Amino acid sequence: MVQSTLIHGRYRLLDLVGRGGMGEVWRARDESLGRRVAVKCLKPLARRDDAGFLRVLRERFRREARVAASLQHRGVTVVHDFGDDDGLLYLVMELLEGRNLSQLLADNKGQPLPMAEVLDVAEQVAAALTYTHAQGVVHRDLKPANVMRSEDGAVKICDFGIARLAHDIGFTARISGTGTAMGTPHYMSPEQIADSAVDHRSDLYSFGCVLYEIATGSPPFEGGDPWAVLVGHRDTPPVPPRVHRPELPPPLAAAILRLLAKAPDERPGAAAGLADELAAARAHLPGAWTGTWGTAAFPGAPAAVGGIAPLWMPPWTRGMDAGLPAGGGRPARTPPEGAPVGAGGLSAWWSGSPGRPSGAHPVSPGPGGSAALRGPVASWGVARVSAASAAADTRAAARPAPARVPPRGAPPRERLAVLADRRDAGLRLGRAGRWEEAYAVHRAVAAEHELLLGPYHPDTLASRHETGTALARSGRHPEALEEYARTAAGRARALGPDHPDTLAVRHELGHALGRLGRWEEALEVHRQLASAREQALGSADPATVASRNEEAHCLERLGRRSEADEVYRELARRR
């Protein structure tokens, strides 16, 4: 294939992303819909002259592609289309911007990933496997290169159905001239090696191999040749992962060893069975939140009636209006001169907390606000949700406010250029998995942006969003929730509640609630966000689909499987 090739009169190949034994992956443009996609081009290299074989191969390709396209889960790469263009078999998938786990390990010079990231990957992959296995779909070639970590922190499994196609096309791995079962040696299950019947528990073994490698920096079995690796999988107990990394949380090490059991019956029955161990492992992280959010600390919170917590507005949303009209008919209102700024200034001014000057009045809400505003903000649902923002205000009030920069017109361009370079450095640290360092950079940049540009400037809010992301990726989810809450309020104030940037940070806010185990609240956030995105973008937009997938994931975590399946079926019907 060459650049600018047009596949099936629709998909224009732009840049080669990768090449492997199965073919090539291209970044491409869907000329019909005007969107960027990834196109995987497959070519059968065996028995090309056999017309009957090729006919059967095409039918098997369609079968596997349909199965892959039917999968609708936030942890599975979306397949948009597939086809046969003059003998070229191709799959059209969502374009993911990020790095796969193999690349992240290489970026980290072979060192294990940070513990918070290991657990985040484990939880998201387990959720995706729980879904796909419930659909009767087995991956058969799960490995670090097939697990993508996108720039927003989402983890997605790629290439469902490709392993079976590889077998049909003739790419079955060969060792010493003898065919072996589908898979990659470092991640193959004992039953794959024995060419025995394979079910979802084979994927769980491969999942254990992946977790072992990202947690310790090396796969469970290594050797000078593939046979040595395969014999290790079949006959040798793995070295306990804590031998390689003593600080590994014991529950995580136990989960990995359970996944690596030689006999399928000795492994967990399903990926969902890892939930307790992963939750226990997360409790071992530094700064892990183990308390509960109560309402006693908030005397202004209305009491529950009949055991059900009432819907109410969290403190940081008081005074929020519906944003600026599209025509810009009224000027943006900003805090008066002298209002507190800095780390807690935005929340303090906005929420009517003790940090706001007496006699100052927040912006008055409209009559009920817009549908998008009611959902993302008010529909957090219970009084305890406001704890994050209220706690931030309390800490901010206890700190001296930073010195204000006197009004001097536009901020110096040189200083803004320096801040842009520092922001880029923080982003690079994040991509390298050095999230604590990235947090320190983004936090400092946000504070300087606020002094130079004000608390509602898009650059200030972008730096706050990145600060929240770094906190979340470091496993500091209560603090991330605070930062996302503050950023969501600021963006709704400055950009409007329906602005894409406002919706994006609300999405992260829902994630943070889920990471804290507050699944009911996370469900409400994602449901309302899905409604807002559907109104603004349409039901088929990838952002809307992502929110519906998050809604289904929350339902799964709440044990409401039938409701989750209905959401997934609805997504499949809409396709």
| Residue 506 near residue 521, CB atoms below 8 Å | no
Q: What pLDDT does residue 244 have?
A: 93
How many C-beta neighbours within 10 Å does residue 167 have?
17
Output the six-digit token pair for 572: 């499949």
Output the six-digit token pair for 132: 């796909």
Instruction: Decide which of 377 and 201 is more confident.
Output: 201
Q: What is the pTM of this model?
A: 0.56
- Percent of the chain past pLDDT 90, that is, above it, reads 33
Q: What pLDDT does residue 287 have?
A: 59
Q: What are phi and psi of 188, to 5 degrees?
A: -85, 145
Distance CA 551, CA 570 (A): 12
- What three-state secondary structure class fits 7? strand
| Residue 346 near residue 484, CB atoms below 8 Å | no
Distance CA 454, CA 451 (A): 6
Distance CA 81, CA 336 (A): 54
| Residue 260 near residue 186, CB atoms below 8 Å | no
- Percent of the chain past pLDDT 70, that is, above it, reads 72
What integer is the mean pLDDT of 564-569?
87
**Which are the contacts of 182, defined by CB distance < 8 A and separation ≥ 6?**
140, 141, 163, 164, 166, 167, 172, 173, 192
Output the six-digit token pair for 161: 């159905």
Q: What pLDDT does residue 322 have?
A: 36
Least confident of 147-156, 277-286, 314-323: 314-323
6 secondary structure, DSSP code: E
Q: What pLDDT does residue 21 have?
A: 64
What integer is the mean pLDDT of 305-324?
35
DSSP output for 157-212? E--TTHHHHHHHHT---EETTEE--SS-GGG--HHHHTT----HHHHHHHHHHHHH
Q: What pLDDT does residue 268 have?
A: 93
Q: What pLDDT does residue 166 have?
A: 57
Q: What are phi and psi of 30, to 5 degrees?
A: -80, 105
Distance CA 7, CA 30 (A): 10
Percent helix, strand, coil in the chain, to 5, is: 50, 10, 40
- What three-state secondary structure class fits 117? helix
How many C-beta neighbours within 10 Å does residue 501 have?
18
What is the CB-side half-sphere exposure of residue 233 using CA atoms within 13 A?
24
Highest mean pLDDT among 323-337, 411-425, 519-533: 519-533
Output the six-digit token pair for 212: 């072992």
One-letter amino acid identity for 320? Answer: M
DSSP H helical segments within 474-574, as ranges?
A: 477-494, 500-515, 519-537, 542-557, 561-574
109 is in an annotated binding site: no
CA distance to 258, 377, 407, 508, per residue, from 504 (Å): 37, 13, 32, 7
* pLDDT higher than 90, residue 409: no
Q: What pLDDT does residue 572 have?
A: 81
Distance CA 42, CA 45 (A): 9
Q: Give the model's confidence band at 327: pLDDT under 50 very low, under 70 low, under 90 confident, else very high.
A: very low
What integer is the mean pLDDT of 427-454?
87
- What three-state secondary structure class fits 352? coil
Q: Which residues are catalytic?
A: 141
Q: What pLDDT does residue 218 have?
A: 93
Query: Nearest Cα to 145, choosing from 8, 53, 17?
Result: 17
CA distance to 361, 484, 505, per residue, from 491 (Å): 19, 10, 9
CA 287 to chain centre: 21
Highest mean pLDDT among 75-84, 169-178, 387-396: 75-84
Output the six-digit token pair for 22: 């199965």
76 secondary structure, DSSP code: B
Instruction: Decide which of 205 and 88 is more confident.
Output: 205
Q: What pLDDT does residue 362 have?
A: 33
CA distance to 38, 91, 359, 480, 510, per residue, from 61 (Å): 18, 10, 69, 44, 37
Query: Nearest Cα to 317, choosing from 346, 355, 293, 350?
Result: 350
Q: Give the model's confidence band at 366: pLDDT under 50 very low, under 70 low, under 90 confident, else very high.
A: very low
- What three-state secondary structure class fits 367? coil
Q: Give the model's confidence band at 101: pLDDT under 50 very low, under 70 low, under 90 confident, else very high.
A: very high
**Which are the contacts of 443, defined by CB distance < 8 A and separation ≥ 6?**
467
Output the six-digit token pair for 508: 């992260």
* pLDDT higher than 50, residue 62: yes
Instruction: Decide which of 368 and 525 is more confident.
Output: 525
Output the six-digit token pair for 65: 């592609």
Instruction: Decide which of 309 and 481 is more confident.
Output: 481
CA 225 to chain centre: 36
Average per-residue pLDDT in the chain?
75
Beta strands in 105-157 (DSSP E): 147-150, 155-157
DSSP output for 262-323? SSGGGS-SSGGGGHHHHHHHHTTSTT---S---STT-TTSPPPBTTBPPP---GGGTT----
Q: Give the model's confidence band at 250: pLDDT under 50 very low, under 70 low, under 90 confident, else very high.
A: very high
Distance CA 280, CA 358 (A): 45
What integer is the mean pLDDT of 166-186?
50
| Residue 102 near residue 145, CB atoms below 8 Å | yes
Given CA atoms 342, 344, 350, 354 in this order, what sign does their dihedral have?
negative
User: Could you give all domains of the chain from N- to C-terminal order, each with its CATH number?
Assistant: 6-94 (3.30.200.20), 98-282 (1.10.510.10), 341-349+370-402+411-574 (1.25.40.10)
| Residue 229 near residue 221, CB atoms below 8 Å | yes
* pLDDT higher than 50, residue 352: no
What is the CB-side half-sphere exposure of residue 401 using CA atoms within 13 A?
19
- What three-state secondary structure class fits 79? strand
**Which are the contacts of 242, defined by CB distance < 8 A and separation ≥ 6?**
248, 250, 253
